[in-house]
Amino acid sequence: MKTLTGSCMCGDVRYEVTGECREVVACHCVECRKSSGHYTAATATRPENLKLLGDDGLKWYRSSPKAQRGFCQNCGSTLFWKPDSGDRISIFAGSLDGQTGLQMTSHIYSQEKGDYYTIEGDAAQFAIEGAKLVL
Ligand SMILES: [Zn+2]
Ligand SMILES: [Zn+2]
């Protein structure tokens, strides 16, 4: 099974993922837009598949009643979204290194997207969170 690695921009947070990863889902919700500056795109895996190799800069922010976001407090990169249910952890796809072999297959919270862009392409669009982690 392929091991993916990733990091924040400055390298203070580094991780590897061994195990199944979900295809990439783009999220247009307000929290993702505020935290990233646009919309986000994330894969997801079971929490036990994610190993932190360096977490000096990692800070968690409670962005909603049901989840926290992990980011680097040194460089500001958004890295993780972790629901309290603990069934998965989302990993923002831009933080992955090199070739991932993943595809962006759907868009969620399209009803909250900004008015300054159009969602292009054939990927499915869901007005609510329609993409569950299926492994
Ligand atoms: Zn950093
Ligand atoms: Zn979102």
Distance between Cα 76 and ligand 1 center (Å): 6
Token pair of 15 as six digits: 């991780």
Q: 32: which DSSP letter?
A: H
* CA atoms of 77 and 97, how far apart (whole Å): 14
User: Within 10 Å of residue 62's Cβ, how many Cβ atoms?
Assistant: 10
Distance between Cα 119 and ligand 1 center (Å): 29
pLDDT at position 114 is: 96
Fold of 3-126: 2.170.150
Of the ligands numbered here, which is closest to the C-alpha atom of 74?
Answer: 1
Predicted TM-score (pTM) of the model is 0.92
Average pLDDT, the chain: 93
> What pLDDT, in 10s, does the model give residues 23-71?
999 999 999 999 999 999 999 999 999 999 999 999 999 999 999 999 9
Distance between Cα 81 and ligand 2 center (Å): 9
pLDDT at position 122 is: 87
Give yes or no for residue 134 having a pLDDT over 90.
no
